């Protein structure tokens, strides 16, 4: 009989269900992300919803690591591979995720989306597509396209919710209500397309309790992954201006961030894959918190603290009965049992 491992040993050397662990389990090897740029804009920037964008969004539309949209997708894949080549020590059998990261990657005519997504999907070294977008840019035609492509290779959709709280959503100028997000999650779930949600920790004015409320809320939805992102205040953003003019003073200190991230992990169901537990912004633009530049230190501190506390993902997770109103009628049931399996 197969030995049942305690939860703290379920995911290799980590106490949470990391993306790295999940990809190695599925593909038998490490899978690398290639940031691509489909050359799209964002309705929150082009005047359709707003002109200024989300308050934290950099000029690159949160896609500062992607290459030029003037290059074809195949050329961008080659560029992005060359960028990470030094990490791969000459390995020839690498496989990659095509990550459409900059701006809103379903904000274009469906024929164009089909062209660029298909070009990426058909690349022999690409195992799946991850598409970052807004929930208000997932109309019926786009969903039909994604569902069709999902039959060729897996498609993931990343949604930047950031917070469940209307006052914070207003402050960051997110530009859509929670109901819009819930509808998108339900639609994607009904089509069998995995959803990864971005949640920002450390938004100005949000308490620890409010951050955890967002996590509890997400824990009850049919999502497959989450990015826990430390708020990065970047130069050249409206948030950066507020910070530089002294209107925003406090950012999370490292020890507080570690404590909050661990509490988030404890509350998340064990089947939700953790895609990120740190910030993700270009170091050259970072104004605060500066400690986050040392990513290794942040990650090591989280791992060490989880061991010291003898805790793990899902330890404090309650059972969730998914309600019809939240997820549509396709999945009603119990999930997210916490504690030791």
Closest to ligand SF4 by CB, 48 vs 271, is 48
Query: Are 264 and 313 within 8 A, CB to CB?
Result: no
Closest to ligand SF4 by CB, 61 vs 279, is 61
Sign of CA dihedral 56, 58, 59, 64: negative
Please, what is the minimum distance in Å from the beta carbon of residue 187 to ligand SF4?
A: 18
Closest to ligand SF4 by CB, 126 vs 137, is 137
b (16+ CB within 10 A) / e for 259-287: bbbbebbbbbbbebbbbbbbbbbeeebbb
Please, what is the minimum distance in Å from the beta carbon of residue 161 to ligand SF4?
A: 11
Please, what is the minimum distance in Å from the beta carbon of residue 142 to ligand SF4?
A: 16
- Which residues have a Cβ under 8 Å from the Cβ of 63 and sit 6 or more positions away? 35, 37, 101, 102, 103, 132
Please, what is the minimum distance in Å from the beta carbon of residue 8 to ligand SF4?
A: 35
**For residue 292, how far is the Cα from the chain centroid?**
18
**What are the beta bridge partners of residue 227?**
198, 276
Closest to ligand SF4 by CB, 101 vs 150, is 101
Please, what is the minimum distance in Å from the beta carbon of residue 203 to ligand SF4?
A: 13
Closest to ligand SF4 by CB, 229 vs 292, is 229
Please, what is the minimum distance in Å from the beta carbon of residue 229 to ligand SF4?
A: 11
Please, what is the minimum distance in Å from the beta carbon of residue 160 to ligand SF4?
A: 6
Cα–Cα distances in angstroms (integers) from residue 38 to residues 62, 81, 95, 265, in the given order: 13, 17, 20, 32
Cα distance between residue 27 and residue 118, in whole Å: 21
Please, what is the minimum distance in Å from the beta carbon of residue 116 to ligand SF4?
A: 17
Closest to ligand SF4 by CB, 120 vs 169, is 169
Largest interatomic CA distance in the chain: 63
Q: Which two tokens stand for residue 34?
A: 């290639």
Closest to ligand SF4 by CB, 137 vs 327, is 137
> Residues in the site for ligand SF4, rule: CB under 6 A?
42, 44-45, 53-54, 57, 61-62, 103-104, 134, 160
Closest to ligand SF4 by CB, 17 vs 134, is 134
Closest to ligand SF4 by CB, 42 vs 186, is 42
Please, what is the minimum distance in Å from the beta carbon of residue 25 to ligand SF4?
A: 30
């Amino acid at each position: 009989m197969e030995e049942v491992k305690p939860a703290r040993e379920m995911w290799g050397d980590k106490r949470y269900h990391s993306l790295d662990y999940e990809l190695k389990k599925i593909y038998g090897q490490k899978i690398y992300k290639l940031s691509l740029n489909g050359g799209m804009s964002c309705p929150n920037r082009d005047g359709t919803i707003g002109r200024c964008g989300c308050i934290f969004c950099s000029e690159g539309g949160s896609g500062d690591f992607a290459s030029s949209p003037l290059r074809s997708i195949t050329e961008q894949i080659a560029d992005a591979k060359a960028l990470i080549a030094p990490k791969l020590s000459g390995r020839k059998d690498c496989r990659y995720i095509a990550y459409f990261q900059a701006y809103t990657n379903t904000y274009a005519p469906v024929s164009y989306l089909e062209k660029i997504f298909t070009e990426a999907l058909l690349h022999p070294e690409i195992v799946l597509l991850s598409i970052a977008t807004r929930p208000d840019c997932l109309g019926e035609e786009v969903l039909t396209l994604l569902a069709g492509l999902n039959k060729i290779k897996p498609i993931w959709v990343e949604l930047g919710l950031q917070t469940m709280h209307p006052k914070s959503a207003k402050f960051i100028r997110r530009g859509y209500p929670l109901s819009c997000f819930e509808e998108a999650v339900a639609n994607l779930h009904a089509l069998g397309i995995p959803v990864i949600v971005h949640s920002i920790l450390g938004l100005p004015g949000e308490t620890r309790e409010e951050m955890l409320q967002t996590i509890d809320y997400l824990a009850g939805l049919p999502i497959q992954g989450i990015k826990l992102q430390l708020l990065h205040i970047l130069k050249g953003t409206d948030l950066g201006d507020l910070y530089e003019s002294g209107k925003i003073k406090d950012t999370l200190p490292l020890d507080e961030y570690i404590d909050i991230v661990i509490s988030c992990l404890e509350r998340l169901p064990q089947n939700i894959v953790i895609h990120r537990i740190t910030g993700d912004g270009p170091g050259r633009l970072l104004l605060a918190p500066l400690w986050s530049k040392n990513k290794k230190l942040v990650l090591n501190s989280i791992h060490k603290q989880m061991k010291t506390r003898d805790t793990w993902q899902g330890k404090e997770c309650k059972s969730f009965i998914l309600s019809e109103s939240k997820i549509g009628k396709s999945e009603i049931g119990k999930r997210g049992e916490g504690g030791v399996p």
